[in-house]
Structure 1
Amino acid sequence: MVIKIAHIVLLASVKYIVTLPYAMIIGLEYKYAILSVLGGGIGGFLFFYYVSKQVNRKLECVWPQLCNRIPPGVKAKFRKLFGRHKKPQLKKIFTKKSRSFIRFKKSYGLWGIVIATPVLLTIPVGAFLASKYYSHQKHIVVYMILSIIGWGVVLSGLVHLFPRVFF
């Protein structure tokens, strides 16, 4: 029983949406399943949020120093190998991935990330995006925890409405 609960907590800290149905399928009692899913989701978010916040801060400080310490010969070989030559860019070049993220951020913003994290995004990706782009917001952690709890209630309701799907 303890191994099942630990398994559910770890799974909920990474991929939240599939964890409650999975907990019901493996035969975990409902009250333990919902508590472990909520605990795993909230704990996973807090862990990934604060770890990614520290990693982002360290990278901002260390990245220029790392780039300066690379010998010029290695930089030249890297540019020659990958075909990148130092050319002045007048416009910033956007990739398809960066365009889609900018479109998502402009369209939905903070609330899009808060609502989509437990369902569409994974908990680590949502925590990283929240720490990178919205860590200056005063209540971002509270919003994300409330989103995780809210989606837990929705999933719990779906399990009660459609019990034959999960049992």
Structure 2
Amino acid sequence: MGYALKILNVFLLASLKYFWTPPYVKILKLEFWETFLAVEAGGILGFIFYYYLSGIIIHKILEHLPKLYCCTPATFKRRMEIWLDQFKERRRNRRKFTRRNKFIVRTRMKYGMWGIIILTPILLSIPLGAFLGKKYYERKRRFLPLMLFSIFLWGIISFILFYEFPFIFR
């Protein structure tokens, strides 16, 4: 039972932070092919799950927000307006962009869809890449197959790096 839980753990980790799963597998000392398949399946199925979940969340929020605001009691609306004013004031006083936000915006502006496809498995996380892909490239038919191919290809590259050249990461 312990081995199956380790494989499940690898599968779930691959669906969140894909590139760092092979070193984790190396630490656990699991079988190569079973973990390779678990990592690939976790990355691909995790991306598909987060991609469609992001679409549901984005569309449902945009769909129900006006209806929700119309039905809200006046006292709650006043409290909400006070809270929004305080929130806007706090936002004015904080840093506008974090390093990660700047990186995401720069990648999208400079490299577009290809930058997100290439960088999602290694630098961005699978859920973040799925959300960005659904938000910005939902209408591009090529995005989903190219992203799945990128995840598969980066899985092969990362396993080669971490298994064939382990001295690089010491």
Instruction: Please indicate the TM-score interval, normalised by the length of the shorter structure.
Output: 0.7 to 0.9
Which structure 2 residues correspond to residues 29-40 of structure 1 after superposition, within 5 A? 29-40=31-42
User: Which residue number in structure 2 is paired with residue 16 of structure 1?
Assistant: 18
| TM-score normalised by L of structure 1 | 0.84
Gaps of 5+ in 1: 85-94
- Name the SS of the counterpart of 2:67 in structure 1: helix
Coordinate RMSD, CA, aligned: 2.6
Provide the identity percentage.
38
Partner Cα distance (1:163, 1:22) in 2 = 13
Which structure 2 residues correspond to residues 109-120 of structure 1 after superposition, within 5 A? 109-120=112-123
Cα contact 1:8–1:33 (8 A) shared by 2: yes
2:72 is aligned, of 44, 62, 70, to 70
| TM-score normalised by L of structure 2 | 0.82
1:45 is aligned, of 44, 47, 50, to 47
User: Which residue number in structure 2 is paired with residue 96 of structure 1?
Assistant: 97
Cα contact 1:13–1:43 (8 A) shared by 2: yes
Which structure 2 residues correspond to residues 131-150 of structure 1 after superposition, within 5 A? 131-150=134-153
Partner Cα distance (1:105, 1:4) in 2 = 36
- Name the SS of the counterpart of 2:122 in structure 1: coil
Partner Cα distance (2:149, 2:74) in 1 = 50
Partner Cα distance (2:101, 2:52) in 1 = 27
What is the one-letter code of the residue matched to 1:113?
A: I
